[in-house]
Chain A
Amino acid sequence: MANVTLSQGSNSFADDAYQPPRRSPLRWVVLFILTLLLLLTLFPFFLAVINAIKTAADYAVGGPLSLPSSIDFGSLQKFWNVSDFSRKLVNSAIISITVAVFGVLISLFNAYAIGIGRIKGSRIFLVIFLLGIMVPQESIVYPLYYMAKATGLYDTQLAVIIIFAVIQSAFGTYLLSSVLRSFPKEIIEAAEMDGANRWQVLWQVVVPVLRPSLMVVGTFFFIWTWNEFLIPLVMLVSNNNQTVAVAMGLTRGQNMSDPTFSAAASMLGIAPTLLFFLVFQRTLTRGVVVGAVK
């Protein structure tokens, strides 16, 4: 789950400065084919929306492909109530935000020691961190489950928060230390000459410069944690503690005979991420390329 290029430098060449020599009608063919592919990719979302706002009777008449004859929030409401969706949203938000904050903090400390402090064995630390998070979560899930039970953290959001703050930060360390390794040494030395201690250098010199990268890393931590499934599934057994992703996973099979309900469930499961995506689209697709291979 690695491959990260934290290069936020935009391409310096201007796009409009370059005029292609000829404009063939072929361009429309290519655009058409790509548009078709894009529509095919997005078609499932469209289906979810048009069926989520249909009545069951409407569906029975027109099937899944017809546009709704009237807008009805019955199915959405039903799924919202049945799954206690507001609760799930709050749970996911609490877990993901806390993990993002603490994950970024731990990553920052680690990266400060490795990238700027150049402590001995930093390369080995990085390799161990990366190996540790690349291996399948199945290989740690049972001991974690056992430990959580032994410490009374089983079925608490705190357990999930601790686990993911650590796992994500191992990844964040890798990202941020490569950024900090190229941090201009002169700035730090100048601050030290002015009498700033290590802690002050971190917060008054490094963090302000690093802020964009920290935001990017935090954004990814948030969305990865939001999407995590196996460990929350194992750890959070009671309905009141579950996340959106777990609730979705447990919706499977149920009510497949009720198509508008299924559509409403998937629409609500997708909606928060979609919103998030629209807000952070540039960060997610451009600033950083992070392999979310989990």
Chain B
Amino acid sequence: MADIGGASTDDKRSYYFYMLPGAIGFVVIVLIPQIANFALSFTSWKGVGVPRLVGWHNYLRLLTDGQFWGSMSHTLLFIISMTIIPVVLGLVLAALLFDYIRDEFGEAVSSLFRAGFYLPQILPVTAAGVLWGWILSPVGVVNTILDAVGLGGMAQNWLGDATFALPAVSFVIVWIQVGYCLVVFMAGLSRVDPALYEAAELDGAGWWHRLVTITIPMLAPEIFVVALTTLIAALKVFAPIFVLTSGGPDNATLVPSYLTYYHFFTTQRVGYAAAIAVVQTILTVVLAVIFLRFQARQESKE
């Protein structure tokens, strides 16, 4: 039925016309700026006048920049709060809600839990940041509670103390991220045949056993996808840092995105900032390519 004489390749070509708005937009808004940024990373520029070519100078400076390496090492730590803890918590919660709560208390109860845990994920991060900034402030809620239960000695300036700022920010990030993992995992579980669970239950497999032998293997694709997307997100953490700590105190919570922003718009060292952004981009692209290959393999399996 396909090509009836005239439905020729010529006809097919008119589909390209529909790509025009999207393609032009993409070239102007994403591609050209991306290339420009790459080019800028080889220059020294204050944002006005003509950029001066400096070759690899910016990249060489990166190698010995303590702030840069500090920010990179914080990114590694954020993998724990962006990826590892949310994935583990999300798995346990999803399995509990899907395989236990839903059976025992019904769909509505399980949906209610899911919605509640998901809520922090869709807030503007900056609004959540204002909230947590107040809760964690020296005279904030956390310290008030500690005081009230007689642990006043443990009270801290959570965001203003170099020792505690990174864990405190990480805690807020976990709070934001768990919902994302939970929702993806629960959607994944809906394609698992419930007969599998029933059979396992009849065989006397406990909840934990079902989690390890059914849930986790069945969710392998989702776990992979969530892990990669959150890893990519960990490389880009910006808003929580901007709102909660501005990278401080003493650079204790500095991340690459904030460092880039700082050099672009505060110190006006545009070329240097561009170089940091390029490093971030390369790392992201590596992860993204792994992700896309995986997606393609999944698609061909289906």
Tell me the smallest distance from the CB of B271 to a CB of chain A, in Å.
10
Given the known inter-chain contacts A251-B130, A291-B226, A293-B180, please indicate yes or no for A143 contacting B32, CB distance below 8 A.
Answer: yes
Task: Say yes or no: A136 contacts B257, CB within 8 Å.
Answer: yes
Task: Say yes or no: A2 contacts B30, CB within 8 Å.
Answer: no
Tell me the smallest distance from the CB of B11 to a CB of chain A, in Å.
8
Task: Say yes or no: A20 contacts B103, CB within 8 Å.
Answer: yes
Cβ-defined partner of B225 (8 Å) among A3, A31, A129: A3
Chain B residues, CB < 8 A from A289: 183-184, 187
CA distance A63 to B140 in the complex (A): 9
Task: Say yes or no: A198 contacts B14, CB within 8 Å.
Answer: yes
Chain B residues, CB < 8 A from A30: 96, 100-101, 104
Residue B56, interface by CB 8 Å: no
Residue B46, interface by CB 8 Å: no
Task: Say yes or no: A229 contacts B126, CB within 8 Å.
Answer: yes
Residues 253-292 of chain B, each 1 if its beta carbon lies under 8 Å from chain A, else 0: 0001100110011000010011011101100110011011
Chain A residues, CB < 8 A from B123: 227, 269-270, 273-274
Nearest B residue to A137, CB-CB: B236
Residue A246, interface by CB 8 Å: yes
Residue B233, interface by CB 8 Å: yes
Interface size on A, residues (CB 8 A): 111
Interface size on B, residues (CB 8 A): 114
Residue B128, interface by CB 8 Å: yes
Residue A141, interface by CB 8 Å: yes
Residue B57, interface by CB 8 Å: no
Residue B127, interface by CB 8 Å: yes
Residue A138, interface by CB 8 Å: yes
Tell me the smallest distance from the CB of A64 to a CB of chain B, in Å.
5
CA distance A128 to B288 in the complex (A): 11
Given the known inter-chain contacts A48-B131, A227-B124, please indicate yes or no for A18 contacting B198, CB distance below 8 A.
Answer: yes
Residues 260-294 of chain A, each 1 if its beta carbon lies under 8 Å from chain B, else 0: 00110110011001100100010011100101111
Task: Say yes or no: A15 contacts B107, CB within 8 Å.
Answer: yes
Tell me the smallest distance from the CB of A126 to a CB of chain B, in Å.
9
Task: Say yes or no: A273 contacts B122, CB within 8 Å.
Answer: yes
CA distance A226 to B122 in the complex (A): 10
Given the known inter-chain contacts A38-B117, A127-B292, A142-B274, please indicate yes or no for A110 contacting B201, CB distance below 8 A.
Answer: no
CA distance A37 to B116 in the complex (A): 10
Cβ-defined partner of A112 (8 Å) among B18, B225, B261: B18
Cβ-defined partner of A132 (8 Å) among B31, B96, B264, B274: B31
Task: Say yes or no: B280 contacts A110, CB within 8 Å.
Answer: no
Task: Say yes or no: A106 contacts B126, CB within 8 Å.
Answer: no
Residue A252, interface by CB 8 Å: yes
Residue B25, interface by CB 8 Å: yes
Residues 95-134 of chain B, each 1 if its beta carbon lies under 8 Å from chain A, else 0: 0110011111111000101111111111111111111111
Task: Say yes or no: A139 contacts B121, CB within 8 Å.
Answer: no
Residue A13, interface by CB 8 Å: yes
CA distance A114 to B18 in the complex (A): 9
Given the known inter-chain contacts A48-B131, A127-B292, A248-B127, please indicate yes or no for A230 contacting B140, CB distance below 8 A.
Answer: no
Tell me the smallest distance from the CB of B138 to a CB of chain A, in Å.
9
Chain B residues, CB < 8 A from A191: none
Chain A residues, CB < 8 A from B119: 41-42, 45, 274, 277
Chain B residues, CB < 8 A from A119: 12, 15-16, 19
Question: Which 8 A-B residue pairings sit nearest by Cβ, starting from the closest?
Answer: A117-B15, A269-B127, A143-B33, A266-B131, A248-B126, A140-B33, A166-B25, A249-B126
Residue positions of A touching B, CB distance < 8 A? 1-3, 5, 7, 11, 13, 15-16, 18, 20-21, 23, 27, 30-31, 34, 37-38, 41-42, 44-45, 47-48, 63-65, 105-107, 109-110, 112-114, 116-119, 125, 127-147, 162-163, 165-167, 169-170, 173, 186, 189, 192, 198, 202, 223, 226-227, 229-230, 233-234, 244-246, 248-249, 251-253, 256-257, 259, 262-263, 265-266, 269-270, 273-274, 277, 281, 284-286, 289, 291-294
